[in-house]
Structure 1
Amino acid sequence: MDWTPPAVAPRADAVLTARLRQRIDHLTKPLGALGQLEALMLQAGLLQGRVDPRLDAPQVLVFAADHGLAARGVSAYPSDVTAQMVENFLAGGAAIS
């Protein structure tokens, strides 16, 4: 899907831009993994003038499970990581947060 955020003139604020990029880049995800969504996050922060932009009534369902594949050696991570990732989601440290 090729989607581009609408063109809106965000505030020109180098300090806020740097702080937003720092926050986006240090979420639990590979750098740039969210593609255009990261650009939208930056734009929302600049438009709102804050490092933690807010959306009204956002809704996301996140499903997590230890499905037993780690025990079979298929997963790159042990099953303990599932619980740690969910804790990270709840603490606001992941991209889904």
Structure 2
Amino acid sequence: MIWGYTELEGWHYAKKWGYYQRCEGPVVAYIERMLSFYRVHVTWRGQLGMCDIEYRNESFDGAKEKALELLAKYKDAADKADLHKDYFSPFNSEGYWQTVYYK
């Protein structure tokens, strides 16, 4: 049992790292438990570095819904730069991490 869940259809659980992972086209979404929230981390497949999109939610189901939404939105993305335009991308100067979080 992992965080109260045994299996999630379509998701892989990486026991060593403690996160769920799912790929759609060129993007990968990870859901991991932090101290008091769940973090959705979306990156361009095959590239290491800072996450391209980061979203946080207090419930696992909320995090999973957002991860699926982001995967559907970016599964046909042509370039990594498309992810950087998202509201929850740390690279978007007008997005959440710049205008809300750092306020």
| TM-score of the alignment, normalized to the shorter chain, above 0.5 | no
* Structure (1 or 2) with the greater helix fraction: 1
Shorter-chain TM-score tier = under 0.3
* Structure (1 or 2) with the greater strand fraction: 2
Q: Looking at both structures, which has the greater relative contact order when contacts are Cα pairs under 8 Å and sequence separation is at least 6? A: 1
